[in-house]
A and B are shown apart, each in its own frame.
Chain A
Amino acid sequence: MRYDDGGTAAVTTLVMLPLLLIVLVGVLELGALRAIVYRATAAADLATIVAVSDQDQAELTRTGILRLAPDAADVARDYFARNLSATAPALAASPHEIAETADVASFPSAPTVDPRTGATYDRPTVRLIASVPVKTPAFALLLLPAVTTLTIRSASSPR
């Protein structure tokens, strides 16, 4: 008696192929999402560093001590939007909208405690926390949310 297992292989393929495709799509989308996280974090880091570099010249002249400029938070917000523009195609909102809704705080005197994070800053600090919505179309194919929101945080001070 002769057995033919060709039908079994076909059935196995039909069952496993969708599963493999789901795993593959998920891995690719997670990788892309990870890249967006790095870019958005770098945008926030550079924005806070630029804001810290913008010092209050009048205060420095008067006391010799570096203090943040009064508009340090606005500077950080502006540069965050500029830096995000390179990643704009992957975002579900415009960089300016993301920057406008970001929580940017300036702590000109130190030491101080960040009321939102609880962190203690021993130098004048600019802190930025932003929610960045990222398009994840592959997740939508898997019946997951089509937009994934990332929360990034950055703080900088002259040390």
Chain B
Amino acid sequence: MKKRVATLAVLLALLSAEAFAREPVEDDWLPQPPLDPVLDPVAFVVPDGLYYVTDTYVDDVVATSGATTTYSTTTIHESTGTYARVIDTVGTGASSGFDGLAFNGRGALTDGRALAGTYYQNFVLTPDGYVPVSIVFFQDDSETRRHQVASSASPAPAVSPVSANVPGALAAAPQIFDASSPPFSTENPTAPASPTLRAGIALAPDGPTLASAEVLRGRLTNFWPRAFADDRPVAIRSWRLISAQPDHVSASSGSVEPLAAEWIQMPAPGVTWSLQVEIVTELAPLERLAAQITVTVRSPALID
């Protein structure tokens, strides 16, 4: 027995070969190259009031309707991947620390006072955080020429970037601006002998112009831009949609055909929607008239 065991031990010793496997820890004694220092993550600073931009500045608008000149801002419903926040809101004639910093400038009334409006600061998101890239001024003012009375306009139009804080409020709104069109006329008032022009929006081709209208949710409603010279209807050469919040519109501009709009979403509580169009008449093709109608969307519902 001992002889057999000894023979087996000798055979194992002779036949065994070196295993060519690497020992996992055999290099531990070697000096390790210095590692790059890992910095602690920097706190990601988000500026106060920052929101994702869903409505982008297009152009400043100066529209004249009768004796009233309105200074507003057109936007386009699109996201450029930037962020913005309100940095200052100024009244008519008030100065701001951001005057002169906005890339689009800040206009003035005919009497020289600076326009009322809101300054927004735009940001882009980089690996280092939110980086400010520009400042834009959204003008929102009006004046009446005959009395030279300037006043702050009503709250910012619903299409202003402020509305981006209402998720979905402008979702799926179609493109409704034409930035390539010429700017509005800022010429002085028409001659006293010329008729007084005014514009409005009606729900029928010969219907009365309305300041507000109720529409049913999901119902296609026709809005007819109309113009009057001394309260007499005048032919419309063209109209162009300035701002709106419908889910579907038939066109952003036209001539004799109406604007057909449809709302699918309901507005948030307290939010009022409106349609704003500019109208050019055959009588005064150089003058652009502004018309607006407030829209209340209603939906049939059961009553308990």
Q: A45-B302, A49-B302, A125-B303 are in contact. Are A158 and B204 (CB under 8 A)?
A: no
Closest Cβ of chain A: how far from B40's Cβ, in Å? 55
Q: Does A52 have its Cβ within 8 Å of any Cβ on chain B?
A: yes
A64 touches B303 (CB 8 A): no
Chain B residues 175 to 216 lying within 8 A of chain A, measured CB to CB, are 202-204, 207-208, 210-216
Smallest CB–CB gap between B142 and chain A, Å? 23
Contact B301 A158 (CB under 8 A): yes
- Whether A60 is near chain B, meaning CB under 8 Å from some CB there, is yes
| Residue in A53, A65, A155, A158 with the greatest tally of chain B CB atoms within 10 Å | A158
A127 to B284, CA, bound (A): 52
Looking at chain A's contact residues, the main secondary structure is mixed
The answer to whether A155 and B303 have CB atoms under 8 Å apart is yes
Residue A116 CB within 8 A of the other chain: no
B299 at the interface (CB under 8 A from A): yes
> From DSSP, what is the main secondary structure of chain B's interface residues?
strand
User: Are the C-beta atoms of B213 and A157 separated by less than 8 Å?
Assistant: no
Residues of B within 8 A of A (CB-CB), count: 20
Are A65 and B214 neighbours in the complex by a CB distance under 8 Å?
yes
Would you give the 0/1 interface string for A38-62, flagging 1 where the beta carbon is closer than 8 Å to chain B?
Answer: 0000000100110011010000111
Q: Considering the chains assembled together, what is the distance between the CA atoms of A52 and B219 in angstroms?
A: 13
Shortest CB distance B276–A (Å): 16
Tell which of A52, A62, A63 touches B300, judged by Cβ atoms closer than 8 Å: A52
For the complex, give the distance between the alpha carbons of A157 and B216 in Å. 11
- The reply to whether A156 and B300 contact each other, CB–CB distance below 8 Å, is yes
Q: Which of A61, A119, A125: most chain B CB closer than 10 A?
A: A61
Number of interface residues of A (CB under 8 A): 22
| Residues of chain B with a CB closer than 8 A to A55's CB | 216
- Does A139 reach chain B (CB closer than 8 Å)? no
Q: Is B298 an interface residue (CB 8 A)?
A: yes
Q: Give A66 to B216 CA distance when docked, in angstroms.
A: 8
Give Cα A156 to B300, complex, Å: 7
Contact partner of A158 among B202, B207, B208, B300, CB < 8 A?
B300
Residues of A within 8 A of B211 (CB): 64
Q: Knowing A61-B203, A62-B208 are in contact, say whether A156-B301 is a contact too (CB < 8 A).
A: yes
Distance between A52 CB and nearest chain B CB, rounded to angstroms: 4
The answer to whether B214 and A154 have CB atoms under 8 Å apart is no
Please name all residues of chain A whose beta carbon is closer than 8 Å to the beta carbon of B204 when the two chains form the complex: 61
Residues of B within 8 A of A159 (CB): 298-301
Taking the closest CB of chain A, its distance from the CB of B255, in whole angstroms, is 21
A-B contact pairs, 21 of them (CB 8 A): A48-B302, A49-B302, A53-B219, A53-B300, A60-B203, A60-B213, A61-B207, A62-B207, A64-B203, A64-B211, A64-B212, A64-B213, A65-B213, A66-B214, A66-B298, A156-B302, A156-B303, A157-B301, A158-B298, A159-B300, A159-B301
* A contact set with B: CB distance below 8 Å: 45, 48-49, 52-53, 55, 60-66, 119, 121, 125, 154-159
